[in-house]
């Protein structure tokens, strides 16, 4: 990190998007294209990383011309670079030339077996071709080597959810929850997976994790609704004893009150809001808890 004098507000915007990992590709293409065409000389050494950022955004927006220009410039400046090879592979992927892209990534892996980026691109090729079973298998092998890659764990959980293999998806989400204990979104996703799995034990777990997500972020409405749903399902189940039922009814009532409060706050009693408040109340009352 050295001093970066942001002479250009556009450059500053691009840097912020790059650091925050935003995927607003159309904006990046607009801003970046202008920067590259008009102000290339003023950017100095930053231009290379901007080329990379704009190229990926251009691939997202199907701007093959712009992507090709960026790639050429990068190839000229960094002839033997693996990072540039990966970008070339991504362009081939965008053109659906999967065979060539695979060859490109294999050559990177021959030089450097520890290169994670190339391996992950190969897996996403499988995903793009719809071969989810193979993608899952490859991703599992990848994760055996690189257990710490959180992005990969998240991707694997998504693949499992698509295959309706909720048990394994829950395992992946547990890894993510352990490495990011304060992230309420992982807790909420985990709770949703457990809720979908069903069964009394899983419902209890899901209720607990919805509560955890709420504790980490009081404003997570989805978790609040999830808490209400899981609590009322447990209360409505015939297999529970009276104390458990009473406790869950209490939880569900509390959740109802909070939901009502939130809807009251939204819009502060404007006309449109009154309808939605009424709708929520009716919905809550309609799920009977005997």
Partner 1 sequence: MAEPELLLDSNIRLWVVLPIVFITFLVGVIRHYVSILLQSDKKLTLEQVSDSQVLIRSRILRENGKYIPKQSFLMRKFYFNNQEDGFFKNTKRKVVPPSPMTDPSMLTDMMKGNVTNVLPMILIGGWINWTFSGFVTTKVPFPLTLRFKPMLQQGIELLSLDASWVSSASWYFLNVFGLRSMYSLILGQDNGADQSRIMQEQMSGAAMAMPADTNKAFKAEWEALELTDHQWALENIEEELMSRELDLDGMFSKELPMGIF
Q: Which residues bind partner 1 (CB under 8 A)?
A: 1-2, 113-114, 145-149, 171, 174-175, 177-179, 181, 205, 207-209, 211-212, 214-215, 218-222, 224, 247, 250-251, 254, 258, 261-262, 265-267
Query: Where would I find the beta strands (DSSP E) of the chain?
Result: none
Which is nearer to partner 1, 144 or 282 (by Cβ)?
144
CA 96-33-60 angle, 5° bins: 25
CB of 256 vs partner 1, minimal distance in Å: 12
| Residue 67: closest CA among 103, 28, 106, 102 | 28
Which is nearer to partner 1, 133 or 221 (by Cβ)?
221
CB of 233 vs partner 1, minimal distance in Å: 15
CB of 167 vs partner 1, minimal distance in Å: 11
Which is nearer to partner 1, 42 or 261 (by Cβ)?
261
Rounded CA separation 71/68 (Å): 5
Yes or no: say if 213 and 188 are a contact pair by the CB < 8 Å rule. yes
Which is nearer to partner 1, 95 or 289 (by Cβ)?
289
CB of 26 vs partner 1, minimal distance in Å: 17
CA 46-47-52 angle, 5° bins: 105
CB of 30 vs partner 1, minimal distance in Å: 20
Token output for 237: 């189940």
Q: How far is CA 237 from CA 60, 97, 263, in A?
A: 47, 53, 28
Which is nearer to partner 1, 1 or 242 (by Cβ)?
1
CB of 124 vs partner 1, minimal distance in Å: 21
Which is nearer to partner 1, 51 or 209 (by Cβ)?
209
Q: Please, what is the angle between helix 242-265 and helix 271-286, to 10°?
A: 170
Element holding 255 (H helix, E strand): helix 242-265
CB of 114 vs partner 1, minimal distance in Å: 5
Which is nearer to partner 1, 63 or 122 (by Cβ)?
122
CB of 230 vs partner 1, minimal distance in Å: 11
Q: Tell me what percent of the chain is helix, strand and coil, each rounded to the nearest 5.
A: 80, 0, 20
Q: How far is CA 27 from CA 18, 60, 69, 94, 280, in A?
A: 12, 11, 18, 19, 37
| Coil/strand/helix, residue 82 | helix
Which residue shows structure tokens 């034990």?
201
Which is nearer to partner 1, 48 or 254 (by Cβ)?
254
What's the number of CA atoms in the CB half-sphere (13 Å) around residue 90? 24
């Amino acid at each position: 990190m050295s001093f970066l004098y942001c002479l250009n507000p556009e450059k500053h915007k691009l840097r912020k998007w790059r650091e925050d990992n935003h995927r607003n590709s159309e904006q990046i293409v607009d801003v970046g294209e202008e920067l590259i065409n008009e102000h290339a000389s003023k950017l100095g050494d930053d231009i290379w990383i901007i080329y990379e950022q704009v190229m990926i955004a251009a691939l997202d927006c199907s701007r093959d011309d712009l992507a090709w220009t960026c790639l050429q410039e990068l190839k000229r400046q960094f002839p033997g670079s693996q990072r540039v090879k990966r970008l070339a592979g991504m362009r081939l992927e965008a053109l659906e030339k999967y065979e060539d892209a695979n060859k490109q990534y294999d050559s990177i892996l021959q030089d450097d077996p520890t290169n994670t980026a190339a391996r992950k691109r190969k897996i996403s090729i499988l995903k793009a071709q719809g071969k989810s079973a193979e993608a899952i298998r490859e991703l599992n092998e990848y994760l055996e080597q690189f257990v710490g890659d959180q992005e990969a764990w998240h991707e694997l959980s998504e693949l499992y959810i698509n295959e309706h293999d909720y048990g394994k998806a829950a395992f992946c989400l547990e890894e993510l929850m352990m490495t990011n204990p304060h992230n309420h979104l992982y807790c909420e996703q985990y709770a949703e997976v457990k809720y979908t799995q069903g069964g009394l034990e899983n419902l209890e777990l899901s209720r607990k994790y919805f509560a955890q997500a709420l504790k980490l972020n009081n404003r997570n409405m989805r978790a609040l609704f999830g808490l209400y749903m899981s609590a009322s399902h447990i209360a409505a189940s015939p297999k529970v004893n009276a104390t458990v039922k009473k406790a869950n009814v209490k939880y569900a009532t509390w959740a109802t009150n909070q939901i009502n409060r939130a809807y009251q706050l939204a819009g502060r009693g404007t006309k449109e809001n009154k309808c939605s408040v009424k709708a929520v109340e009716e919905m809550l009352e309609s799920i009977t808890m005997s």
